[in-house]
Amino acid sequence: MRRFLNPKVHPRARELFRSHLANRSFAALLFEYVCLLALLSVIGAGVEALLRSPADPSALIHQSLAHFAFLVGGEAPASAQGALWGFLRLLLHTVLLGGLVFKLLLTRQVFVFRHKVSIFYDAQQRAWMLAIRLYNASRLQVRDASFAAYLRVPFVRDGEQLIRNPPLTIATPKNKWHFALPFVPYTVKLRLEDTDVLCHPEGPQLVAIQGTQVRPENFDPAGETFLVLCVEGRCPQTGQNISESFWARMTDAHEKSRLSWGRPAGVQTTPGKKPRSTGSKPKSWKGWPEFEKNRRGQCLGYVLGYGSLVDPADTWRLLCGFDLMHEKPVWHELSGFRLTWNVAMDNSADLSDYKYYVEPGSEVRPDVCITYLNLEPDKAATTCGLAVPVCAALLEHLDQRERNYQRTEVGRMARQGGAVPIWAYLAKEESRARFEKAAACGKAVIVQSYREKVESGYAAHGEQRLAQYRQAAKHSLRVLDLELRRTRSA
């Protein structure tokens, strides 16, 4: 023990007391404080009783109370009859004194973190994002709060249990919180890599964070993987630095309950007319129910996906990015249409905020027309597609994305509260004419990556779906290996 407490041997020995204070509850510290004073009082009274000649054991209780009173600055009871009431009075003084001492010594927890980590897709940045929410639950003002994130992964190597703590990159400008005012929420975001999220027909799955596997091959089953967010700032009111952390368990048996797929719900705060008055009054503040919730978009109907939208990755990116994770896509059989390749995009044309293709390893644009799938009216045909729920914002996004198509209502689907429309994106006349002209001169081609994406999308839903697609989407067009590029907004 002596060796352990020697600062020259153990560099953290001087922090043992503060560490003990930080890891005990306020009630436990008060209890330990009272017990320590009582123990010291009994020891002091016992020593006095032994030194007396002759020893007087009957005076032990009275002397203990006297020592206790001395330690807390109170008065000992004058008689044995008042010993009980005197002890209670001294105990009250002790609790009040202990409360004052610990109030001064201990820094209360300033930040409250949302229990669940949110994962959503940002359509503007075209990336999956991980979000951690917090707010300042005190009346303190925290300045220049900075964040650092780590993924704590236990693993086994050569029979030895080890821990890997790779740092994570926080998306700017969310890595700095200049004014952490009371009761104002803040969201820290981490940009994920495309391979961090695997999308299955039944839903998305988080398998890594910025390339680090949550459960690597050499994962130690005796441990758990934690996502750790550290926040540090300074409080001008107290002159102290604040350092807190949030630990989210990522690999326990209930890991699904630790993740929340979708964008965090918006929280309304009081703007405030005076400096530093933003937020809410602590007396009336009950906590926001929305703080733990995600946004929920209103389903207006369904869009029938038959091309890239069948791919689970594309489906769940849209649902997760437009607040529709509470809805589920379903397969729908559509009569009167057949699947065909007869929509073309001129690859040589420059369109604002759109796409084009180049040859691999260069920026050369081939003078071709890129061909896509379409639903062509055919009374004798029947086709199947994935009916994806949509809201107003998602419809607007798809209308912008599918520029070569016209959104057309092709049916209705029953829902609770009444039937809703089913839309399909059908080729515009100019898009079909562009294909026919390109096909006549041999310039109509299919991009290999697009064809593979559509096939893998159908395959993810089963061999039967893939076989139906291959039977319906036969073609004789050239397939080229081209790389996708995007133009910026004008």
CATH number, domain of 317, equals: 3.10.490.10
Same domain assignment for residues 47 and 115: no
Same domain assignment for residues 324 and 231: no
Same domain assignment for residues 169 and 206: yes
Residue 345 has pLDDT above 80, yes or no: yes
Residue 20: predicted pLDDT: 58
CA distances, 313 to each of 66, 177, 206, 331 (Å): 75, 33, 13, 16
In a domain, 349, yes or no: yes
Mean per-residue pLDDT for 113-124?
A: 92
In a domain, 288, yes or no: no
In a domain, 285, yes or no: no
Mean per-residue pLDDT for 151-159?
A: 93
Residue 15 has pLDDT above 50, yes or no: no
In a domain, 283, yes or no: no
Same domain assignment for residues 225 and 245: yes
Same domain assignment for residues 129 and 194: yes
Mean per-residue pLDDT for 117-146?
A: 90
Mean per-residue pLDDT for 403-414?
A: 94
Residue 2 has pLDDT above 50, yes or no: no
| Domain final residue pick, 83, 105, 127 | 105
Residue 225 has pLDDT above 70, yes or no: yes
Mean per-residue pLDDT for 137-155?
A: 90
- 247-274: burial string, b at 16+ Cβ within 10 Å, e else: ebebbeeebeebbbbbbbbebebeeeee
> How many domains is the chain built from?
3
| Distance, CA of 179 to CA of 25 (rounded, Å) | 29
Mean per-residue pLDDT for 104-114?
A: 72
Is 233 within 8 Å of 175 (Cβ atoms)? Answer: no
Residue 378 has pLDDT above 60, yes or no: yes
Q: What is the pTM of this model?
A: 0.77
Same domain assignment for residues 98 and 147: no
In a domain, 199, yes or no: yes
Same domain assignment for residues 122 and 240: yes
Same domain assignment for residues 326 and 417: yes
Residue 47 has pLDDT above 70, yes or no: yes
Residue 489: predicted pLDDT: 53
| Distance, CA of 323 to CA of 261 (rounded, Å) | 9
Same domain assignment for residues 158 and 54: no
CA distances, 457 to each of 122, 279, 314, 315 (Å): 21, 47, 9, 10
In a domain, 273, yes or no: no
Confidence of residue 79 (pLDDT cuts 50, 70, 90): low
In a domain, 77, yes or no: yes
| Domain final residue pick, 41, 71, 105 | 105
Residue 78 has pLDDT above 70, yes or no: no
Mean per-residue pLDDT for 22-33?
A: 68
Average pLDDT, the chain: 84
Segment among 167-176, 342-351, 385-394 with least mean pLDDT: 167-176
Strands 355-358 and 483-486: antiparallel
Residue 6: predicted pLDDT: 42
Portion of the chain with pLDDT greater than 90, in percent: 55
Segment of 77-81, 91-95, 425-429 carrying the highest mean pLDDT:
425-429
* Domain membership of residue 67 as a residue range: 2-105
CB burial class (10 A; 0-12, 13-18, 19+) of residue 417? exposed
User: CA 220, 151, 214, 120: dihedral to nearest 10 degrees?
Assistant: 160
Segment among 42-56, 232-246, 377-391 with least mean pLDDT: 42-56
Same domain assignment for residues 334 and 384: yes
Residue 388, helix vs strand vs coil:
strand
Higher-pLDDT residue of 117 and 61 is 117
Q: Quick count: other Cβ atoms within 10 Å of Cβ 465? A: 18
Task: Kindly report the CATH number assigned to the domain that includes residue 203.
Answer: 2.60.40.1400
Tell me the H-state helices in 252-340. 255-258, 312-321
Segment among 76-85, 126-135, 142-151 with least mean pLDDT: 76-85
Same domain assignment for residues 135 and 117: yes
In a domain, 231, yes or no: yes
Residue 99 has pLDDT above 70, yes or no: no
Residue 272: predicted pLDDT: 62
Confidence of residue 1 (pLDDT cuts 50, 70, 90): very low
The 10s digit of each residue's pLDDT in 235-280 is 887 777 888 999 999 986 655 567 899 999 887 776 665 655 555 5
| Domain final residue pick, 60, 83, 105 | 105
Mean per-residue pLDDT for 343-356?
A: 90
Segment of 138-152, 277-291, 301-315 carrying the highest mean pLDDT:
301-315
Residue 229: predicted pLDDT: 96
Same domain assignment for residues 309 and 387: yes
Residue 288: predicted pLDDT: 66
